[in-house]
Homo-oligomer: A and B are copies of this chain.
Amino acid sequence: MTAAAIDLGSYLARRKALVEEALDRFVSPAGGAPPRIIAAVRYSLFAGGKRLRPILCLAAAEAVSDAWESALPCACALEMIHTYSLIHDDLPAMDDDDYRRGRPTNHIVFGEGLAILAGDALLTEAFHLLADPGLMPGVTPETRLEVLRLVAGAAGMTGMVGGQVMDLEGEGETLAALTDMHRRKTGALLTASVVAGAVIAGASPAQRDILTRYGRKIGLAFQIADDILNVTGDSARMGKSTGSDAVRGKKTFPSLLGLEASRLKLAELVDGAAADARQLGDSSGILVQIADYIRERNI
């Protein structure tokens, strides 16, 4: 199937449904955990996320092999880690957000203590899932450990947690610092999503390198698109108030670089990512389209 033959909207809807059905199974009320923590975890896990990270993971696996469904547990683990990071980022001691995607945040509904624990649970259960011997048939233990290490590295203190620390400490005052912060905070897990999918599907070193470059570009593009939309977008589409970065005095790509230069940088990254993906041949058509989709931050 060539890139042009696939309708992106229907592809995304199908993958989203697949991921949500799997998440529903993996984070089940039947597991023996106290009911309140399951409720808190599931509240945020099923709060209308776009499932970008799992979809990227599956699309990267599909670009490499027909056996892409082996990456489904990993795709779910990535969404669980992403969801934990949102719950903790929204806490009063962090960004202090009462709403996300138009719904009250976890700590507003369940209280701060349970929200912290819901994040802790999602992070821990993500690794529990990645180590489940009954899942990912055909994937060697060596590969599973490699994926686990890659995901933990991206989520840890040199990656996502480190980026959130920089954000909390008010770093990102210069373009270099802002770029470093976003590469850690958002870029690391997005890149890991792409690379993990590829590794599970048995990517060659060359394919892996190409997809790492693709992942880094769309990771940063995603954040720049978000910043631009925060200036120019409508709040219904964002699920949060526009102009909120400016109100908080947060530095953004538009505030440091200007709106026009930010758009050019975004285009350069997205075009570069699409060119990377094209090197993998027809099987990467969806990755090309996702890069383009991020340009408009529709995802």
Contacts and interface: CB of A to CB of B under 8 A. Distances in A.
Interface stretch (A3-11, A136-144, A240-248): A136-144
Given A120-B88, A120-B119, A145-B141, A34 B128 contact: no
Given A165-B36, A165-B117, A131 B157 contact: no
A48 interface: no
Contact of A145 (B117, B119, B144, B161): B144
Contacts of A47: none
B152 A31 contact: no
Contact of A124 (B41, B93, B142, B161): B161
Chain A binding surface SS class: helix
A156 B116 contact: no
B127 A157 contact: no
Nearest to A155: B124
Nearest to A124: B156
Interface stretch (A107-115, A268-276, A285-293): A107-115
A155 B113 CA distance: 17
A32 interface: yes
A124 B145 contact: no
Interface string A120-153: 1101110110011100000011101110110011
A232 interface: no
Number of identical protomers = 2
A44 to B, nearest CB: 13
A264 interface: no
Interface in A30-44: 31-34, 36-38, 41
A91 interface: yes
B121 A94 contact: no
A155 B127 CA distance: 10
Interface residues of A, number: 54
A175 interface: no
Interface of A: 31-34, 36-38, 41, 84, 88, 91-94, 111-117, 119-121, 123-125, 127-128, 131-133, 140-142, 144-146, 148-149, 152-153, 155-158, 161-162, 164-166, 168-169, 171
Given A94-B116, A117-B164, 8 more contacts: A31-B158, A37-B165, A88-B116, A91-B116, A94-B113, A114-B168, A125-B152, A133-B149
27 contacts: A33-B156, A34-B157, A34-B171, A36-B169, A37-B157, A37-B161, A37-B165, A84-B120, A88-B117, A88-B120, A91-B116, A93-B112, A94-B113, A94-B116, A117-B165, A119-B120, A120-B161, A123-B123, A124-B152, A124-B156, A125-B152, A125-B157, A127-B148, A127-B152, A132-B149, A133-B145, A141-B141
